[in-house]
Structure 1
Amino acid sequence: MALEKSRILIIGGTGFVGQYIVRASVRTGHPTFALIREGSAGSDPDKARVIDDFKAAGVTIVYGDLHDHASLVKAIKQVDVVISTVGHDQIADQPKIIAAIKDAGNVKRFLPAEFGNDVDNVHPVDAAKKLFDTKVQIRRIIEAENIPYTFVVANFTASYFLPSIGEAGPWSPPTEKVVIMGDGNAKVIFNCEDDIGTYTMKAIDDPRTLNKILYLRPAENVYSQNELISLWEKKTGKKLERIYVPETEVLKQIQEAPEHRKLPLSIHHTAFVKGDHTNFEIDPEKGVEATQLYPDVKYTTVDEYLNRLL
């Protein structure tokens, strides 16, 4: 007899990563619930469209708010698994979710808003340091409260970091020259958002990922920026001028950048200069690697993704 699929509540489902997680939950046959703030769609036509799409896909919309404990508990009582995909500005509010999970008392697994670097293995500066320190605090609270968890380390999302061939800033491939942080040799991991959703769904009912970090490190998606640029040059048949920016200059640029640029630049710095995606071994006591656990998943490779940009 097939096991019944876990019921999943996604908090922050209308956000960038959240939409992929919601779609993956539906795609894999889980009863899917999305927590939406009452009236939040009224002021935002894009959000209203996303919510309509959710409803059409069979997602149950539950109204509630991170700052309304009773509504959170009520929503959580309807499900088995809670996944938070809240945005950067709400990461620090997640203890409210943790408190509601404690009160509800029925949750089999909690996945906090991670889906990036392994925040226990990073060397960040500036805005990235502030964000990652907050994520570390959330991890420690979850552990201290004995809430069953999985932390998903998805590294870089393909559609955000690959269109610029790894350059910090532009949203389209370089045509003449490309700016490279550091020496361009740090190995960075890129994952297609649909695959992040698929691996996350595989993990939520898997005893092997309980109270573990799930690392997404597909062998064919680990590239240095130099290798990435060479692959792109091979596809386009055009050489790019490579402009290398030493770390001292990168740090100066981060310091002098306008507020809205500090976070993306400092996150780039952790991966492309410090090599924080790959400069440590996975501790088997604490973590597992997704492609080893789920070799059946046919993931999109960086090579295949770049073909879409041609």
Structure 2
Amino acid sequence: MAQFKTVLVAGGFGRLGKFIIDEFVANGTYNVKILSRPSSLTERISVIEKYKAVGVEVVAVEYTDHAGLVKILKGVDVVVSTVSIEAVYDEQIVLIKASVEAGVKRFIPSDFGSDHERVKHPFIVPKVRIAEHLRAHKTLEHTIFYTNYWTDTTLQFAGWDLDAHKAIVIGDGNDKFTLTHRRDIAKFVVASLKNPKARNAVHGTASEVVTWNEIIRSAEKHSGHKFEVTYRSLSEVEEQLKITKESAFETARDELFSLPPRGQGVIVENVKEEYPEIKTITIDEYLREYYANKP
């Protein structure tokens, strides 16, 4: 198995990237770089200084500059991409090409969501194409992470209002599904670099398996308020998806949260047992912290 020393995180200032950067820094055994566009640097001066103080190098280049990308990637062993969904194909395809030319050993794409085989929605297509592209490369290893819903963002994405004590649920609320906290995703990513089974593999991760009704009870316990819950039947949602004129965000949301009542909410390829050293964060812990920080 290849020994990895230098890691570059593309999108390292983003919603997930910052957690991965922090975990690599905490691990202390890797040289860590953040790839950014030059135009983004002036917006993040204080953050950049914070990272520089702990040894993180920030490098800047436009994704359209192939030669510049190759130069920056020379000497990098692993690229972890956390670019946004809007850039998940166009930016990653050039990043993969430059990684191959620069001699990068492993590429972890910006996936970190639901199983490709289960979600049938246009927004997942770029991720599928990137996965297929990576599998075709013989010299560049890959690990694809299926994390399902993120513990610390999924309630808001699902249309819940934690402060107004309102929840929206597709189905009867008793269907099981997996959650992974962003801090745990970062831990799994870092730990995977020392796991031979992660080479050219799909890594399904989960902090826990829960139901919506369990989350509602937890939210009521920690908030001290009864929640107003709107239950939408799966058949109603599926009919709406056939004729909808809603935004791409709303249709993607409904498609994603229809997985549990379809019996597809639990990540099958869960590798949590391979990492017993990782103590995962539960939704109950997240909600306890959320409400504890409220005035």
Give the TM-score band, short-chain normalised. 0.7 to 0.9
1:155/1:191 contact within 8 Å kept = yes
**Match for 2:258 among 238, 254, 269?**
269
**Cα separation, partners in 2 of 1:74 and 1:28, compared to 1, 3 Å:** same
Secondary structure at the counterpart of residue 33 of structure 1: strand
2:213 aligned to which of 223, 226, 238:
226
Aligned to 1:20: 19
The residue number in structure 1 matching 2:158 is 168
**1:6 aligned onto 2:5:** yes
SS across alignment from 2:202 = strand
d(CA) in 1 for partners of 2:122, 2:248: 13
Counterpart of 1:25, as a letter, is F
Q: Give me the whole-angstrom Cα distance separating, in 2, the residues matched to 1:48 and 1:10.
A: 18
Query: Are the structure 2 counterparts of residues 237 and 172 from structure 1 closer, same or farther at C-alpha, using a change threshold of 3 Å?
Result: closer
CA deviations over 1:129-165 (Å, ceiling 9, x no partner):
1121221111111111222111111222222114x5x
2:203 to 214, 223, 239: 214
Q: Please state whether the residue corresponding to 1:41 is helix, strand or coil.
A: helix
Judged with a 3 Å threshold, the aligned counterparts in structure 2 of structure 1 residues 15 and 74 are, in CA distance, closer, same or farther, namely: same
The answer (yes or no) to whether the contact 1:109–1:204 under 8 Å persists in 2 is no
Q: Aligned-pair RMSD on alpha carbons? A: 2.4
| Native 8 Å contact 2:33 2:56 kept in 1 | yes
- 1:286 is matched with none
Counterpart in the other structure of 1:41: 41
Query: Equivalents in 2 of 1:199, 1:4: separation in Å?
Result: 17
Q: How far apart are residue 110 of structure 1 and its match? A: 0.8
- Specify the alignment match of 1:73 in structure 2: 70
TM-score (norm 2): 0.87
SS in 1 for 2:144: strand
Contact 1:150/1:211 (<8 A) preserved: yes
1:233, CA displacement in angstroms? 3.1
Contact 2:119–2:255 under 8 Å retained in 1: no
Q: How far apart are residue 265 of structure 1 and its match?
A: 3.7
Relative to 1, partners in 2 of residues 1:55 and 1:251: Cα closer, same or farther, differing over 3 Å? Answer: farther
Partner of 1:140: 132
Partner of 2:237: 250
CA distances 1:16-49 after superposition (whole Å, capped 9, x unpaired): 011111111111111101111112233xx3x444
Specify every segment of 5 or more residues in structure 2 that has no aligned partner in the other structure, as ranges: none
From 119, 124, 137, the equivalent of 1:123 is: 119
Structure 1 Cα separation of the partners of residues 206 and 246 of structure 2? 31
Structure 1 pair 186/256, CA: closer, same or farther in 2 (3 Å)?
farther
- Could you tell me how far 1:274 is from its partner in structure 2? 3.3
Partner of 2:190: 201
Q: Secondary structure at the match of 2:55?
A: coil
* Structure 1 range deviating more: 261-270 or 15-24: 261-270
Structure 1 distance, partners of 2:236, 2:115, is 25
Q: Is the 8 A contact 1:154 1:215 kept in 2?
A: yes
Tell me how many residue pairs correspond in the alignment.
285
**What is aligned with 2:149?**
156
Write the distance in 1 (CA, Å) between the matches of 2:255 and 2:163: 21
- Per mean C-alpha deviation after superposition, the further-off stretch among 196-205 and 223-232 is 223-232
Could you tell me the TM-score, scaled by structure 1's length?
0.83
The one-letter code sitting in structure 1 at the alignment partner of 2:89 is A
User: Contact conserved, 2:119 with 2:256, CA < 8 A, in 1?
Assistant: no
Return closer, same or farther for 1:258/1:59 CA change in 2, 3 Å cut-off.
same
Aligned to 1:55: 52
Q: State the alpha-carbon separation in 2 of the partners of residues 235 and 170 from structure 1.
A: 15
1:210-260 per-residue CA deviation (whole Å, 9 max, x = no partner) reads 111111124xx2111122213333445544343211224324655232344
2:98 alignment partner in structure 1: 100
CA contact (8 A) 1:83 1:113 kept: yes
The change in CA–CA distance for 1:169 and 1:281 in structure 2 (over 3 A counts) is closer
Whole-angstrom distance in 2 between the partners of 1:65 and 1:92: 15
Per the alignment, do residues 205 and 72 of structure 1 end up closer, same or farther by CA in structure 2, a change over 3 Å counting? farther
State the percentage of identical aligned residues.
Answer: 30
Partner Cα distance (2:19, 2:218) in 1: 27
Distance 2:40 2:225 in 1: 47
